[in-house]
């Protein structure tokens, strides 16, 4: 919702997509940089943006790519596994009241367990390769998917369900041709939330046991008081999450534009 304004400059800023957030972000960076110089804040407490850019240069590009790929690989595998597991569970919860009563509380209990606290146990049981990191990523990413898919599948208008049953449509056609298309906006909302959570899960796993990845790099850099490099790694993580989030939205826009919210 946009508020009317009499200021031509402000009106132009509000009409140009992305200009106002970019300007706000630029002002924030300028204030941040000026504050670190004005108050002589030590680099090991809060490096300014210029020092963070120097942190990028302190690490070879090939080494950055190795860490990015390690985190991205685990995040995407855990994300795909979460999608594959969540869809049949959501269909079961939407179709069967018995299954919803029996298993939904169990899912809530699993989600309530702090994954950060369980991560060391998972590492001890499964080892230090990709498998435990993928499992940790899956545990963080799958619950929002189940909730959004189940909500969308259950939100199908009951008259459409009654119509399909009156026509004796088989159960799989009710799911694939009625419930899933109607639930598409909910599903993509869950996919966008879960892709950012998958990145968080991969980083949490790297904090516990890893020899590569952005999370491992940040932990190593802070232990050596290399704060500009740690902030550079954090910046890459934010950029990775934003790119993945926008990629899911782009996929929805390209293949299912009809499911986008009306502006």
**Beta-carbon contacts of residue 190 (< 8 Å; ≥ 6 apart):** 144, 145, 147, 148, 149
User: What pLDDT digit, counting tens, does each position of 189-222 carry?
Assistant: 999 999 999 999 999 888 887 888 999 999 999 9
Please write the tens of the pLDDT for every residue from 41-68. 888 888 999 999 998 998 999 999 999 9
pTM of the model: 0.85
Which pLDDT score is estimated for 170?
A: 81
pLDDT value of residue 129: 82
* % of the chain exceeding 90 in pLDDT: 42
Token pair for 2: 């946009």
Mean pLDDT of 106-121: 84
Residue 83 has pLDDT above 70, yes or no: yes
Span 230-248, pLDDT tens digits? 999 999 999 999 999 999 9
Instruction: Look at residue 245 in the predicted model and tell me its pLDDT.
Output: 94
- What is the reported pLDDT for 4? 56
Q: How confident is the model at residue 96 (pLDDT cuts 50, 70, 90)?
A: confident
Q: Tens digits of per-residue pLDDT, 30-46?
A: 999 999 999 998 888 88
Please give the mean pLDDT across all residues of the chain.
87
Give the pLDDT mean for 109-125: 85
pLDDT of 2 strictly over 70:
no
pLDDT confidence band for 158 (50 / 70 / 90)? confident
């Amino acid at each position: 919702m946009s508020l009317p304004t009499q200021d031509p400059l402000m009106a132009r800023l509000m009409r140009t997509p992305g200009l106002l957030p970019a300007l706000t972000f630029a002002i924030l960076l300028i204030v941040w940089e000026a504050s670190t110089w004005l108050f002589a804040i030590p680099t090991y407490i809060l490096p300014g943006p210029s020092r963070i850019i120097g942190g990028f240069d302190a690490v070879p590009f090939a080494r950055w790519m190795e860490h990015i790929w390690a985190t991205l690989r685990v995040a995407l595998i855990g994300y795909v596994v979460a999608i594959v597991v969540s869809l049949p569970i959501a269909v079961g919860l939407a179709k069967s009241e018995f299954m919803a009563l029996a298993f939904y509380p169990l899912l809530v209990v699993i989600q309530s367990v702090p994954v950060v606290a369980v991560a060391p146990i998972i590492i001890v049981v499964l080892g230090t390769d990709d498998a435990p990191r993928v499992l940790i990523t899956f545990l963080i990413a799958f619950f929002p998917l189940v909730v959004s898919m189940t909500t969308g599948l259950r939100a199908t208008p009951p008259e459409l369900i009654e119509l399909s049953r009156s026509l004796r449509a088989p159960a799989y056609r009710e799911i694939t041709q009625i419930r899933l298309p109607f639930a598409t906006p909910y599903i993509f909302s869950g996919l966008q939330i879960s892709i950012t959570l998958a990145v968080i899960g991969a980083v949490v796993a790297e904090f516990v046991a890893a020899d590569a990845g952005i999370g491992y790099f940040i932990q190593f850099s802070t232990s050596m008081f290399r704060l500009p490099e740690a902030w550079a790694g954090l910046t890459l993580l934010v950029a990775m999450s934003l790119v993945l989030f926008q990629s899911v939205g782009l996929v929805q826009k390209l293949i299912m534009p009809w499911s986008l919210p009306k502006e």
